[in-house]
Structure 1
Amino acid sequence: MFINSGTGRNMAALPPSAGLYRRAVMPTLHLEMHPGRTLEQKRAFVREVTKVTAETLACPPESVDILISEVPRDAWAKAGKLLADA
């Protein structure tokens, strides 16, 4: 799993009329995993990750974005070997 809590947005470049969005940097988490988890497992996972992120970063849960990417074992390598070959 890879987690990137950056937003990729330059908040300083926003005009003053952006209001709240100018002041609050919203965390975006990119989660990568192998396929095979059920929808209920993903729901539980993002619920808990959102809860911990909001508590840790002192931000509202509504500001936490999570993107899940499922990467098949034939597209993931470790130590020079595809995981599909392990």
Structure 2
Amino acid sequence: MDPPNRTPNGTPTRRSSAMPIVTIQQGPRDTELKRDLVKRVTDAFVDAYKIPAETVQVWIHEVPADSWGAAGTLTADK
């Protein structure tokens, strides 16, 4: 068995070859908001799974308002 890793707060955890990948689909946002979101999502996984932050990947896929809709209406038309 692999030796235990330690999370940033020193909690032991087992190594895993599977890293969490979080995909967020959203409309365009400013870089500072995305920076904060990535930190918060990463921190949530670190806290919930007791894994190192380095193993968490957050992918943000921004979709322009003219490329998606809701309730039968193109978002750009709202």
In the TM superposition, residue 77 of structure 1 has moved relative to its aligned partner by 1.1
Partner of 1:64: 56
Partner of 2:20: 27
Runs (4+) of structure 1 moved beyond 6 Å? none
Q: CA RMSD in A?
A: 1.4
Identity %: 38
For the residues of structure 1 that align with 2:20 and 2:55, how far apart are their CA atoms? 7
> Aligned to 1:25, what secondary structure does the other structure show?
coil
1:74 equivalenced with 2:66 (yes/no): yes
Judging by fraction of residues, say which structure has more strand.
Answer: 2
Relative CO higher for 1 or 2, CA cutoff 8 Å, sep ≥ 6?
2
TM-score (norm 1): 0.66
Point out where structure 2 has 5 or more consecutive residues left out of the alignment: 1-14
Point out where structure 1 has 5 or more consecutive residues left out of the alignment: 1-19
Out of 72, 76, 84, the residue aligned to residue 76 of structure 2 is 84
Paired AA for residue 68 in structure 1: I
